[in-house]
Structure 1
Amino acid sequence: MNGIDYIADTNAIIYLLSGNLCMKPYISNRLGISIISEMEILSFSSMTDADEKCIRSFINDCIVLELSEKIKNHAIMLRRICKIKLPDAIVAATAIAYSLPLITADKSFRQISGLNLILIEPVLL
């Protein structure tokens, strides 16, 4: 779908932008991100102008996947059944809707049936 190889969760984006080696295998791939991850990553209060410029450049290199009716309804169902946070439900529903693997360090996604999950372990530097 549109040349996207993976969907990156917000924590995976943070690890990638900070140069954490856990994301090295995915650097050369085309990443998709949920609109909610874009919002989360741009809303950090301690972000400097340089940080924002770097993040916006990264986002421009990704495909941002909007919130559709299908994703919205699936996220509602996931939140009810799995009792996960709404942003996580939206990210998971996006990955499922596009039939793409989700890269994340958040183990709570393991409980979601039908989600192709790639769990990363951050490398301590």
Structure 2
Amino acid sequence: MTTQEVANRLVELCREGKFEQVFQELYSPEIVSIEPDGGPWGTMKGFEALEKKAKEWHDMVTEFHSSEISDPLVAENFFTMTMKSKVTMKGMDHPIDMDEVCVYRVADGKVVTEQFFYTPMPELV
């Protein structure tokens, strides 16, 4: 797959809420995931680490209210998109808005690096 094809498919699956399928279909087994400093996860490597992070994230959320995924912007073997969501977290009595920029690097038709840019919320760390 080309970088554009990977980007389009990743956006499609994210919009459908099929995040586990993103891992299985589009990610390299040696995937590196980078979260911002001050966030709960830091840098992780491999499918198992990403699956653990995804489970921890979903366990922190009591309700998903909305989600918006932008179209991808592709340059060479990189692409980016934004993710916006409104969620209610455990221990909170009101929904919060979350907004992040996601950057991916593709090699040999698979995502090999993902990096997220957002301001970590102290109450979630």
The alignment's TM-score, normalised by the length of structure 2, stands at 0.25
More strand by share: 2
More helix by share: 1
